Amino acid sequence: MSNRLNMRAALIGLLMFFAIWQTLAWLIHQPIMPSPFQVLPIFAGSLFGELGVHFLASAGRVLAAIALAVVTAVPIGLGLGQIPRANRIFAPLIAIVYPIPKIVFLPVIYVLMGITDISKIFLIALIIFFQILVVVRDEAANLHPELILSVRSLGAGRRALFRYVYFPASLPAVLTALRVSVGTAIAVLFIAEQSLTTYGLGYYIVIETYQVLRYPQMYAGILAMSLLGLALYFVIYNLELKVNRYRAEEQN
């Protein structure tokens, strides 16, 4: 966590990214590879218009899914981590379901939950849910029993233990799991948004632009989706740095 990305590095990265893009545009020289100079004005112009609406729709779905996954996976993970008997019963099931690419359940979820936003949010939440469940369970199980006992001796019941011990103890792991799974979540969102909705970046990129050959606009959509992933990644990354401060200080 020490190699914190600074502004200068971010700028250099961006410049390299656009330089390679421009080079490819010259080399390929086809409508499918427009130059950034063509795309960026469209991106800037439509971000506060049509594109922005799609961006907000996608961002809303991801954030709702993250919230849903966190509020369900954290308590269940803590429960499993604290109660070894329950964990022994459910561990094999979790081990089997965990690696299944959840997107294969897309049709099932559509049929069972309807074609509303809820089914899309549920699908993404499902992916994040298992990532968080597993790390929270392991963190809770690895806490020293002496720590729990000594905090209980201070008068802490279940609620205070959750608030002052289990939750802060698992928070760094929750954030790491989120940061790692947010990429997959957005990839799945992209696929889920290609049907049964008229809002979202997946819809915008495939239906509104790609299928009608509006390539520069399509790239504006791609940029917006990249921005969504990047923003989420860095927000989570900075939260991680914050909650891991006590570890960083130890090294100084």
Binding interface with another protein (CB under 8 A): 144, 146-147, 149-157, 159-160, 163-165, 168-169, 243, 246-247, 249-250
CA pair distance 201, 166, nearest whole angstrom: 37
Q: How far is the CB of 158 from another protein (least distance, A)?
A: 11
Q: How far is the CB of 151 from another protein (least distance, A)?
A: 7
Nearer to another protein by C-beta: 141 or 156?
Answer: 156
Any residues with CB less than 8 A from the CB of 153 and at least 6 apart, and which?
A: none
Q: How far is the CB of 15 from another protein (least distance, A)?
A: 38
Widest distance between CA atoms in the chain: 72
CA pair distance 28, 11, nearest whole angstrom: 26
Q: How far is the CB of 72 from another protein (least distance, A)?
A: 24
CA pair distance 27, 20, nearest whole angstrom: 10
Cβ pair 167, 156 in contact under 8 A:
no
CA pair distance 93, 76, nearest whole angstrom: 14
